[in-house]
Chains A and B, each alone.
Chain A
Amino acid sequence: MLKTSMPTRHAAVLFLGVAALSTPVAAEARGAVRASAPTSISGASARATTGSVDRGVVNSGNVSRRAVNTGNVNTGNINRGDINVGNDVNINVDGNYDRWHDWDDHYYPVARGVAFGTAAAVSAAAVGSMIYALPPACAPQPYGGYTYYSCNGVWYQPRYQGTTVSYVVVNKPY
């Protein structure tokens, strides 16, 4: 059950770990979260028991997180623009709470650096595209029992994906 020898594979993993610790890494990469702990046994087991499909969920979750970080926020106008130039460490995920990739209400730099702007600059507001924080100066517009936001002519519908709030670009609802 617990072995005392250290196979080559293990040593290699350890070596990589040490290398990662001692090598300067671009701070932007450091801020992105690639994995988080399972917060329940049965939820994670359900994920694990269906084999490749479930690993697919995990992987696509990671890809999604990356897509979010490098797309709308980190490599958008904020990080590469004037506000944060690769010197912050942001943990944007607070646990594998849902099957959806997760997002925080507030972005706290975990280790050091600069407070993160909450507004995501949107260069392409195609219908169906999604962001996790509204641009500034968006007015809420109630319609049909739900709330929409109008931002410079772009309409967003807030919604829960799991327990994560996101905003999806929609056609003008009325």
Chain B
Amino acid sequence: MRPVSLAVIAALGSGLVGEVAAQNRPDSPRAEVATSVEPEALQALQRMSAYLGTLPNFTVAIDADIDVVTEDGERVRLDEQVIYKVRRPTGMVVQTTSPRRERHVIYDGKQLTVYAPRRGYYATVDAPPTIRETLGAIADQYGINLPLVDLLRWSEPDSYRPSMLKAGYHVGPAIVDGVETDQYAFREGDLDWQIWIQKGDKPTPRKVVIVDNIDEARPAYAGRLTWNVAPQFTAQDFAFKPGKDAKAIVLVTYEP
């Protein structure tokens, strides 16, 4: 935290902590921002990624706040709950729920299903044999951006992460939901993002904040994560069962 400690302390002193500080507008063109990544920050990211990669099964519940920006610049924060169930290498369920919208993305090792229980529509397509390949198809072939899909991608052996980062540093210790964590801040592309990693021998991410720098209102995503790293799954957890009146529809292939 050497290069920025004074600035961070100033931000803390003025009542701006964590996410709020990160949401301040940049006061310099992006070309002028720091382009260094502290080894300490990168190591923390790699240690967390390696740990996540060792988990054969896990569930994580994400309590997310998502900003949208209206045409006249009002930033409105919406809530969403997400549950990931992961059984490597062939089982994954991602359930996204809010009063506005409910979607299940279900992968059983053979097929991928997108299901909207309340609307009663589902689409099932053949899928690659592993979660990792299926994640690629989900993003590239079908244009689906799973919330915090990074949780799965960080542990990929050839993760592109380190080379993407143009700044990163240790902000300091923090308590998230009663758990001791270390907070790190990174910049890459058009994003500023922060992560709170649990201290100790189970370095899971407990909070993630992502700030979009394209829109001047700088909408942010903030997710708090609750982990179960030893869940008991049954085959039912990854089996898709459509509701009684659910109808099969087409899943369109994404063309940029």
Give A contacts to B, CB under 8 Å: 1-3, 5-7, 9-10, 13-14, 16-17, 20-21, 25, 29-49, 53, 55, 57-58, 66, 89, 91, 93-100, 104-106, 108, 110-111, 140, 142, 145-147, 157-163, 165
Contacts and interface: CB of A to CB of B under 8 A. Distances in A.
B101 A10 contact: no
A10 B218 CA distance: 13
Nearest to B191: A44
B248 A145 contact: yes
A58 B145 contact: no
Nearest to A108: B100
8 contacts: A1-B34, A3-B28, A40-B150, A40-B210, A41-B208, A100-B143, A106-B100, A159-B251
Interface string B85-124: 0000000000010111111010000000010101101010
Contacts of B188: 41, 45, 48
| List of 10 A-B pairs having minimum Cβ-Cβ separation, nearest first | A48-B189, A2-B7, A99-B143, A35-B215, A43-B145, A37-B219, A37-B221, A147-B247, A95-B66, A159-B250
Given A35-B214, A37-B210, A146-B248, 13 more contacts: A10-B27, A40-B149, A48-B190, A94-B78, A95-B68, A97-B96, A97-B144, A104-B101, A105-B119, A106-B99, A158-B250, A159-B252, A162-B145
Interface of B: 3-4, 7-8, 10-11, 25-29, 33-34, 64, 66-74, 76, 78, 80, 96, 98-103, 105, 114, 116, 118-119, 121, 123, 139, 142-150, 153, 161, 164, 167, 188-191, 193, 208, 210-212, 214-217, 219-221, 247-252, 254, 256
Nearest to A111: B76
Contact of A36 (B29, B68, B74, B118): B68
A30 B210 CA distance: 24
A33 B247 contact: no
B250 A146 contact: yes
Contact of A147 (B161, B216, B249, B252): B249
Given A1-B7, A39-B145, A94-B98, A158 B70 contact: no
A58 B150 CA distance: 20
